[in-house]
Structure 1
Amino acid sequence: MSVVGFDIGNEKCVISVVKQRGIDVLLNDESKRETPAVVCFGEKQRFIGSAGAASAMMHPKSTVSHVKMLIGRTFKDPEVQNAVKVLPFETSEAKDGGILIHLRYLGEAHTFTPVQIMAMLFSHLKEITEKNLETPVGECVIGIPSYFTDLQRRAYLDAATISGLKPLRLMHDCAATALGYGIYKTDLPNAGPTYVAFVDIGHCDTQVCIAKFEAGHMRILSHAFDSRLGGRDFDEVLFGYFAGKFLELYNINVYSNVRACMRLRAACEKLKKVLSANAEAPLNIECLMDEKDVKGFIKREEFERLSSGLLERVLIPAKKALVDSGLPVGKIHSVELVGSGSRIPSITKGLASLFGKEPSRTLNASECVARGCALQCAMLSPIFRVREYEVQDSFPFSIGLSSDEGPIFTGSNGILFPKGQPFPSSKVLTFQRSSLFHLEACYANPNELPYGVSSKISSIMVSLLKFV
C-alpha cells in the first residue's frame, strides 16, 4: 500500500506519492506530470485525462471540464450560472436543486451529476497511480480550496469513495503548500516564530493564508480568498480583446462557434504565458472559423491596462488575510507565490508593493499542493515513519449551532466555532431536554461565504431513549 496526495485543479490534476527516499510526482501515460481534468464521451468509448483533452475538439458538447467549479453547488448559484455560459456542454436543474449534465454517449442521451464525473476522474488518477507503483492504492489526502463549503467537501469525499479511494483528510490548498514549505525549513530562527504569507493564484480562484512556523510546528493564522478570480479571468480579457478585433478585421464572430471559442481561449492562455516573459507577443491561428486564418498582436502594457481591475482585486484577499491574522505587514518574513496564474509580472509587482518585499518562488508552483497532501497522508498513515511535525489549520468560516429555541450560544451570537479557530478541535455540549428536539448547524456569518452560497450546513433530530 502507498500514501498519495491528489491536487484536483480546475484544469489540471497532480498526483504525488511518498516513498522511502522522499516525495515523487507521478507521470501519466504521456509522461507528463500534470493530467488534464477532462472527461470526454466519444461515440464508442470514454476518454479521461490526456486522452479526453485530445478528443475535446472532436466532441466539444460531450466533453466535461471545470467540474471543480460545479461540484457541491446548486444550479441557481450565480457562480454556476456564469460558468455554464462558457462551458460547451448542456446543463439543467435537478429535483434537489443540484446540477445535471446532459450529453450523448454510445448513441444515447445520458445524464450525469458533477459527483459522478469527479468519481470518473478520481478513478483515472487511481489507475495512473497503481500503474506507476504496481501496488494497490487506497489511503490518500485530497487538496481543496479553503472556501469550499461543507456540501462541497462531502461531494469530494463521495466521489473519492465511489472510485475506491479512502481519503484520510481533505486539506486546504494553502495549508498543504505551507506544510511542504515548513517541514523542510531547517533555518528557522530560534528567537521567535517565522510568519510567511502564501499566495496561490489558480486557474479559477485566488487563495491567501498567513502561516506561523516554529521548530516542529506549523499553524495557519488566517485564510482569505476570492473564489471568482483566477488565471482564467486574465485569459478572458485577452479572449474578449481578440474576439472584438477579429470581428472588426475578419468579420468573424467566434461567439457563434463552440470550436472557435475553445481554440481562441487555448491560444489566449498560451499568449498570457508568453507575455509573462516578453514585452509583446503575436497571436496566429489557422482556420479559426469559416476557413479563415487570423493573426493579432498585443503588448504587455496594453494587456495590463485591460486587466487593471483584476490586478487590483488580487490584493484584496492578501490584505484581508493580513488583517485577520492580527499581524502588521512588517512581521511577515517572506511571501511565497504559487499557482498557475502567479507568473504575471504585474501581480508580482502589486504583492511586492503591499508586503514591502519581493515575493519568492522557492516552491514548485504547480506541484506544491500535491506534495503537501502526500506529506500529510504519510503523517496520518501508520505505514510511514515521519519526523514529529504538528500541523494546525484554522476554520475559514464561523460555524453556529441553534435549536428549536434559537441560538444556543447567545453570548457569542450563536457561534460555536469562530472564524480562525484552530482545528482539529472539539467541544462538549450538554443539553437538558425532556422530549424530541432539533439541532441545526450553519455558517454563522453569511458575509464570510463565497457569493450566492447557502449558509445551512446540516440539521439533526435528536430523540430520547427511555429505559424501563
Structure 2
Amino acid sequence: MSVVGFDVGNDSCVIGIVRQRGIDVLLNDESNRETPAVVCFGDKQRFIGAAGAATASRFPRDTASQVKRLIGRPFRDPVVQDDLRRLPFHASESPDGGILLRVGFLNEQRAFTPVQILAMLLAHLKQIADKNLETVVTDCVIGIPSYFCDLQRRAYLDAAAIAGLNPLRLMHDCAATALGYGIYKTDQYPRGSSSCVVFIDIGHCDTQVSVVRFEPDKMNVLSHAFDANLGGRDFDEVLFNHFTEQFKEQYQIDVHSNVRASIRLRAACEKLKRVLSANMESPLNIECLMDEKDVKGYIKREEFERLCTSLFDRLLEPCKRTLEHSGLKRDQINTIELVGSGSRIPAITKILTEFFRKEPSRTLNVSECVARGCALHCAMLSPIFKVKDYEVRISVDNALHHG
C-alpha cells in the first residue's frame, strides 16, 4: 500500500511520501521539489509539468494552466469569465453548461474538460511517485481548498480515478498543514494544556484561514474562512497592470494585445515580486517584449505596497471572520503560522502583526506543508505504518458559507 500525499496547487504541485524515518518530498525528473501544474499540447506530443512549463512559450494558446480554478464550475460563472480573460487558451461552454478547453493537438482541434486536464496532471504526479518508490502508487490523500463544494470534490475524485489513483480522503489544505504541525510541533505542551494556533495559507489564487486548538494527542479545527479570489497571482497582476500602462505610454505598445508578451510580462512580474520581498527596489528588463522593442521599468517596494493597498485590506477579512467564528479573542491566540507561496511579501507580515498583536511564525515549509500533512494522514489511514494515536476533529459549522 502506498503512503502518498498530493498537493495539487493552482500553479504548482508537491508530492509528499512517508518513509520509515519520516516524511519526504519527492523530486521530479528535473530534480525540483515543485512540479508546474501545466499541460502543453504540441504538434506531436503532450508536455506535462516542468516540460509543459518550458514548452508553453512555443504553444501559448495550446497550454492549459490554472485549471484548479475551473474545476467543477459553470462556464458562465463570473469568476470563471474573469479567470479566462487572464489565461491564454480558448474556452467554450459545454452542452451541460461546463467548461471546454480548446487546444490544437496532433494537428487538429481538440476539446478537454478541466477534469481531464487535472487527470493528466495527477497521472504525471503518479508516474513520478511510481518511479521514485519503484512500486505502483494507488492509495493517497489529496489536499483541496476548504471552500470546495460537493461538485468540485466529486470532480477531483473523478480525475483521480481516471489517473488510476484511489484517494482515501480529500483533506482541507489548512487541516493538512495543522496535522503536520500538531504531530511534530506540540510535544512541548504538557498534558492537560492546550494551544490555539491560527494558520494563514496565502496560495497562488486563494487565501484560507483556520483557527485550530491543539491538545496532547489531538487537534480541533474550531473555524475557518477564506477569500477564494485573493492569492499571490493578484499581487503579480497589480505589477502587470502597472507596467502595461507604463509601457503603453513610454513605448507605445499594448501588451494586452499580444499573448506571448502578456505571458512574458506576467512571468517577469512574478520574479519582480519575489525580488521586492528581499529588496527595497528593483528594475525590470525584458528584451524584445513585442514589436521588436526592449523594455525597461523600475519600481520601489513602497510604491508596490501602495498599489496593493486594497488587496491588503481584503486579506484581513477572512482573519476577522475566522476569529469571530472560533469564539476566541486575539489575546487567546498563542501562535500565528503563515504559509503558502504568496505569503512572502513583507507588508503582509506587518499587517498581520498589527492585527493579531504578535508576529507570525514561519516554522513550516510554506510550499510543502500541505503535501506533508496529506502524506501523514495517509499513513494514519494505512495499515502498514504505525503512527502515534492522534485525533483530528473539525468543529466547523457554517464558516464555509462565508467568503
TM class by shorter-chain length?
Answer: over 0.9
* Whole-angstrom distance in 1 between the partners of 2:35 and 2:62: 19
- Kindly provide the amino acid, as one letter, of the partner of residue 162 in structure 1: I
Distance 2:133 2:293 in 1: 47
Q: For 2:366, what is the secondary structure of its paired residue?
A: coil
Q: Offset of 1:189 from its aligned partner?
A: 3.9
Q: What are the superposed Cα offsets for residues 151-191 of structure 1, whole Å, 9 maximum, x if unpaired?
A: 00000000001110000000000000000101012112445
Answer with 33-42 or 190-199: which moved more: 190-199
Q: 1:64 & 1:182 partners in 2: Cα distance?
A: 36
How much has 1:382 moved relative to structure 2?
A: 1.1
**Matched residues, number:** 402
Residue type of the alignment partner of 1:62: D
Partner of 1:24: 24
Contact map agreement 2:213 2:221 (CA 8 A) in 1? yes
For residue 312 of structure 1, what is the amino acid of its counterpart? Answer: D
CA offset digits 1:402-438 (Å, max 9, x no partner): xxxxxxxxxxxxxxxx426xxxxxxxxxxxxxxxxxx
- Runs of 4+ off more than 6 Å: none
Matches of 1:394 and 1:9, distance apart in 2: 25
SS in structure 2 of the partner of residue 265 of structure 1: helix
SS in 1 for 2:200: strand
Task: In structure 1, give the amino acid aligned to 2:124.
Answer: H
Kindly indicate whether the alpha-carbon contact (under 8 Å) linking 2:225 and 2:402 is maintained by their aligned counterparts in 1. Answer: no
Question: Rg: which structure is higher?
Answer: 1
Query: In the alignment, is residue 168 of structure 1 matched against residue 168 of structure 2?
Result: yes
How far apart are residue 192 of structure 1 and its match? 2.6
Q: Distance between the aligned counterparts of 2:158 and 2:196, measured in 1?
A: 35
Distance across 1 between alignment mates of 2:10 and 2:395: 24
Q: Is the 8 A contact 2:192 2:215 kept in 1?
A: no
Q: Identify the residue that residue 214 of structure 1 maps to in structure 2.
A: 215
Task: Say whether residues 1:419 and 2:371 are aligned partners.
Answer: no
**CA shift for structure 1 position 387:** 0.7
1:281 aligns with 2:282: yes
Aligned residue number for residue 149 of structure 2: 149
1:103 Cα deviation (Å)? 1.0
Give the equivalent residue in structure 2 for 1:361. Answer: 362
Instruction: Give the Cα–Cα distance (whole angstroms) in 2 for the partners of residues 148 and 112 of structure 1.
Output: 21
Name the CA distance, whole Å, in 2 between partners of 1:162 and 1:322.
39
The aligned runs of 1:227-376 (5 Å cut-off) are 227-376=228-377
| Per-residue CA distance 1:194-237 (angstroms, 9 max, x = gap) | 10000000010000000010000011000100001001110000
CA distance in 2: counterparts of 1:259 and 1:51, whole angstroms: 18
* Corresponding residue number in structure 2 for 1:103: 103
For residue 343 of structure 2, give the secondary structure of its aligned residue in structure 1: coil
1: CA distance between counterparts of 2:394 and 2:107?
48
CA distance in 2, matches of 1:204, 1:28: 23
Distance in 1 separating the partners of 2:91 and 2:192? 57
Aligned-residue offset at 1:94: 1.0
Letter aligned with residue 330 of structure 2: V
How far apart in 1 are the matches of 2:247 and 2:100?
34
Aligned residue in 2 for 1:66: 66
5+ residue gaps, structure 1: 396-417, 421-444, 451-468
Structure 2 unaligned residues grouped into runs of 5+ = none
Question: What CA distance in whole angstroms lies between the structure 2 residues aligned with 1:301 and 1:4?
Answer: 42
Q: CA deviation at 1:394?
A: 4.2
Q: Match for 1:145: what amino acid?
A: P
| Alignment correspondent of 1:89 | 89
* C-alpha distance in structure 2 between counterparts of 1:394 and 1:244, whole Å: 47
Amino acid in structure 1 at the alignment position of 2:101: I
Residue identity in the other structure for 2:97: G
- Aligned-partner Cα distance in 2 for 1:189–1:99: 52
What SS class does the counterpart of residue 158 from structure 2 fall into? helix
Amino acid in the other structure paired with 2:306: R
Residue 128 (structure 1) aligns with: 128
Distance apart, 1:252 and its partner CA: 1.1
CA RMSD in angstroms comes to 1.0
Q: Which residue of 1 aligns with 2:112?
A: 112
Determine helix, strand or coil for the equivalent of 1:137: coil
Normalised by the size of structure 1, how large is the TM-score? Answer: 0.85
RCO (CA 8 Å, sep 6+): is it higher in 1 or 2?
A: 2
Q: How does 1:8-23 map to 2 (within 5 A)?
A: 8-23=8-23
1:38 Cα deviation (Å)?
A: 0.2
TM (norm. structure 2) is 0.98
Structure 1, residues 299-335: CA drift from partner, whole Å, max 9, x if none? 0000010110001110110111100000011100000
2:67 alignment partner AA: V
Matched residues in 1 for 2:225 and 2:261: separation? Answer: 36
Tell me the secondary structure at the aligned position of residue 131 of structure 2: helix
- C-alpha displacement of 1:391: 1.0
Q: In structure 2, how many angstroms separate the alpha carbons of the residues matched to 1:73 and 1:233? A: 20
Equivalents in 1 of 2:402, 2:66: separation in Å? 21
- Match in the other structure for 1:433: none
SS in 1 for 2:358: coil
Cα distance in 2 for residues equivalent to 1:393 and 1:10: 25
Output the amino acid matched with 1:359.
P
Paired residue type of 2:354:
S
Q: Tell me the amino acid that sits aligned with residue 337 of structure 1.
A: L
Amino acid at match of 1:49: G
Q: Which residue of 1 aligns with 2:43?
A: 43
The corresponding residue for 2:384 is 383
Secondary structure of residue in 1 paired with 2:61 = helix
C-alpha offsets along residues 110-133 of structure 1, whole Å, 9 cap, x if unaligned? 111000000000000000001111
| Matching residue's letter, 2:224 | H
Contact 2:226 2:402 in 1 (8 A): no
Instruction: After superposition, give the CA deviation of every residue in 1:370-396 in whole Å (9 maximum; x if it has no partner).
Output: 00000000001112111101111244x
